[in-house]
Chains A and B, each alone.
Chain A
Amino acid sequence: QSALTQPASVSGSPGQSITISCTGTSSDVGRYEYVSWYQQHPGKAPKLIIYEVTHRPSGVSNRFSGSKSGNTASLAISGLQSEDEADYYCGSYTINTTLFVFGTGTNVAVL
């Protein structure tokens, strides 16, 4: 049961838009509309920012948006701000017995 694949790092200037990809398989990302995204600042616990591919929890900025095509999901961050500097992880429900799998994680730098 392998982790979902994400780019190690993505960077952008303030105000720009960036996209982070998350590639899985037909057992997880491609099978269900249950991709989620988590933001983790240094020294903090992760925080849910997108669930069920496109939904934002209450209080999460609408600058964050999610999408999916086939076995690949994406997180877009628009109007990049310094506070967006963090690690981002995708996750997916999986057909495997352990129910859930994480992505490898992406460090976002705001230049």
Chain B
Amino acid sequence: EVQLVQSGAEVKKPGESLRISCKGSGYNFGIYWIGWVRQKPGKGLEWMGVIYPGDSDTRYSPSFQGQVVISVDKSVNTAALQWSSLKASDTAIYYCARLRDHEIDYWGQGTLVTVSS
């Protein structure tokens, strides 16, 4: 069974750093792109960027370039999303998602990130 299991909810202060993770299982992790999706409270889905675990090829949507870093450790089937200095506007649910050819077929359960002073 394919699964993407994300790390737990986080509460952080503005300016703090954070790394959240997404562990894949039940499939060949190295051959499917993994994307990250932001959903702010009450808002829509935003495609942040994507990484190919096989060679770590990483692409960022323009709005997120320079704001986050997407990485992967293929040896433990885990992708990560990290911030060096969080802002209140980063408060959102973040999903990882498997891109099968041209559509997302599996989603993680989501990680709620709350940034508040």
- A residues contacting B by CB (< 8 A) are 1, 3, 32, 34, 36, 38, 40, 45-48, 51-52, 57, 87, 89, 91, 93, 97-105
Question: Nearest CB to that of A106 among chain B residues?
Answer: B44
Distance in angstroms between the alpha carbons of A7 and B101 in the assembled complex: 27
CB of B60 closer than 8 Å to a CB of A: yes
Q: Are A102 and B103 in contact (CB under 8 A)?
A: no
A102 close to B45 (CB less than 8 A): yes
Write the nearest CB–CB distance from B75 to chain A, whole angstroms: 24
**B105 at the A/B interface (Cβ < 8 Å)?**
yes
Whether A99 lies near B46 (C-beta < 8 A) is: no
What separation, in Å, do the CA atoms of A89 and B59 have in the docked complex? Answer: 22
Stretch from B8-16, B19-27, B78-86, B106-114 contacting the other chain: B106-114
Residue pairs across A and B with Cβ atoms less than 8 A apart, 29 shown, are A1-B62, A3-B44, A36-B102, A36-B103, A36-B104, A38-B45, A38-B104, A45-B108, A45-B109, A47-B107, A48-B104, A51-B103, A52-B103, A89-B45, A91-B103, A91-B104, A93-B102, A97-B59, A98-B47, A98-B60, A99-B99, A100-B35, A100-B50, A100-B102, A100-B104, A101-B47, A102-B45, A103-B44, A105-B45
Assess the A45–B110 pair: CB atoms within 8 A.
yes
Closest chain-A Cβ to B35's Cβ sits at a distance in Å of: 6
Question: Size of chain B's interface in residues, with CB distance under 8 A?
Answer: 24
- Least CB distance from A51 to B in Å reads 4
Number of residue pairs A-B, CB distance < 8 angstroms: 68
CA distance A51 to B59 in the complex (A): 23
Tell which of A1, A34, A45 touches B95, judged by Cβ atoms closer than 8 Å. A45
Task: Answer whether residue B33 sits at the interface, using C-beta atoms and an 8 A cutoff.
Answer: yes
Binding site for A on B (CB under 8 A): 33, 35, 37, 44-47, 49-50, 59-62, 95, 99, 101-105, 107-110
A57: nearest residue on chain B (CB-CB)?
A: B105
Least CB separation from B45: chain A residue = A102
CB A69 to nearest CB in B, in angstroms, measures: 19
Q: Are the C-beta atoms of A48 and B61 separated by less than 8 Å?
A: no
A102 touching B46, Cβ below 8 Å? yes
Neighbouring A residues of B47 by C-beta, 8 Å: 98, 100-102
